[in-house]
Amino acid sequence: MSRFEPEKGELHSLEGKVVVVTGGSNGIGAALVSLLARTHGAYVVFGDLDTASGSALAESLSSPSSPSSSPSPQSTTPPSPSPQKKKVLFRGTDVRSHKDLLSLFTLALSTHGIIHHAVAAAGSNHEGIWFAPHMGMADIQSAPGEGDMLALETNLIGTLLFVRLACVFLREGRDGSGVRHRAGAGGGGEMKVGREAVHEPSPSPCTENRDGDGDGDGDGDADRSLVLLSSIAALTPAPGLPLYSTSKHGVQGLLRSLAPFSLPRLGIRVNAVNPWMTLTAMTRGIENDWKAAGLPVNTPRDVARVVVGLMKAGGKKGGDGENGENKVNGRGVYVEGGRGWEVEGYLTGKEGIGGWMGEKGEREWRRGQGVLGMGDKWASKGSNTSVFDEKKKVGDGTPKL
């Protein structure tokens, strides 16, 4: 594995960029929201079920005395936030609800006119009663109870719903060259979001600039990215967490399936973070034993720094276009003791695949992957359209038998 160091490589500034985050009220999500606003000068719109903590965090980061008004270390000019806009906005959000997530993205787009990055950080390790030793025949006569699917619904279904929306919202407000589009002339207008028209705000520092990328430097950069919060549980056994582990394997599978397609076709980079033991509410039950064993731990800020590093790693400005050159895409970064390690390329690369397939098997597998390409030829039974067919309409996914 190779080290992933968030502050090295071809990095883009997040100054004035707009980022949508879920799970931002506590833990890793809250650390990320604070880091983006206070240190990197980004505009953040985040959601969470914990409305009390989320509202308090947003208010503290948007207050006039907040350190968020100071310039980011990457910027050579002081930021000029619009007096009409708060640096951080919060909206109560259940990621299992399409309606809630749509409302969150719409808030960001209608407020700022553009979205540059999105992070799916909401998570749960609530397992419910599934494989308990005391379960007998009487216990399995009825379906699992309400809440028994929470980890799966939040971590996997919630992430899928979030990514589905992000893949559209991240493309709003720019074309392939990074040029900002406006629906109406002058200072305001309307743009379509789904089936609804939302009012587009007057020009603000994060939308009104020469090239549409939000930083006003005219570099033509239209970098967009998605970061998924996965887990070490997607890579190794996680005793006692079968639903959580299953959900995170699903997130890792989404990364592997989507990343090769999303950058060349949608212009969106997709990466994931796989934290090990991190000091959050989820790990309080094992925290004392872990520390007593002298094992490495992450702080939420450690993980947030890696997420920010993936957002900033959009490749050399003006030099990569749609070819993806130098762009960090399809990475999975394992975080332990505050250190990041790029593990996804190792697991799916020559050493990882060849290690268990053997040289001949790995060579044949790569030929097979070449045949699959970007998945354009996958088709439902009785249909000649793939899941990525540009002409396929929403609702056409039901197989015709």
Angstrom distance (rounded) from CA 333 to CA 345: 9
Q: Write out the two tokens for 360.
A: 């001949």
Model confidence pLDDT, tens digit, residues 93-146: 999 999 999 999 999 999 999 999 999 999 999 888 888 889 999 989 999 888
If we measure between CA atoms, which residue out of 377, 263, 283 comes closest to residue 329? 263
Q: Which of 160-164, 224-228, 365-369, 371-375 has the least mean pLDDT?
A: 371-375
Angstrom distance (rounded) from CA 115 to CA 173: 8
Angstrom distance (rounded) from CA 394 to CA 401: 19
For residue 245, pLDDT beyond 90: yes
According to the model, what pLDDT value does residue 342 have?
92
Residue the block writes with tokens 């090769």:
260
**150 vs 181, higher pLDDT:** 150
Model confidence pLDDT, tens digit, residues 25-81: 999 999 999 999 999 999 999 999 999 999 999 999 987 544 444 444 444 433 444
**92 vs 202, higher pLDDT:** 92
Q: Which helix (H) or strand (E) holds 332?
A: strand 332-336
Q: Which of 282-296, 327-341, 351-365, 373-387 has the highest mean pLDDT?
A: 327-341
According to the model, what pLDDT value does residue 387 have?
53
CA angle at 26 for the pair 131 and 57, rounded to the nearest 5°: 160
Q: DSSP per residue over 87-105, as a string? A: SEEEEE--TT-HHHHHHHH
Burial of 74 (0-12, 13-18, 19+ CB in 10 A): middle
| Mode of pairing for the β-strands spanning 2-4 and 18-22 | unpaired
**357 vs 337, higher pLDDT:** 337
- 253 pLDDT tier (thresholds 50, 70, 90): very high
- 386 pLDDT tier (thresholds 50, 70, 90): low
Give the dihedral sign, CA 82/86/91/95.
positive
Q: Enter the DSSP assignment of 234.
A: G
Angstrom distance (rounded) from CA 401 to CA 382: 7
Model confidence pLDDT, tens digit, residues 160-189: 999 999 999 999 986 544 444 433 323 333
For residue 194, pLDDT beyond 70: no
Burial of 14 (0-12, 13-18, 19+ CB in 10 A): buried
Helices (H), 113-227: 150-152, 158-169
Measured CA distances, 6 to 3, 9, 36, 339 (Å) = 10, 8, 14, 10
**158 vs 400, higher pLDDT:** 158
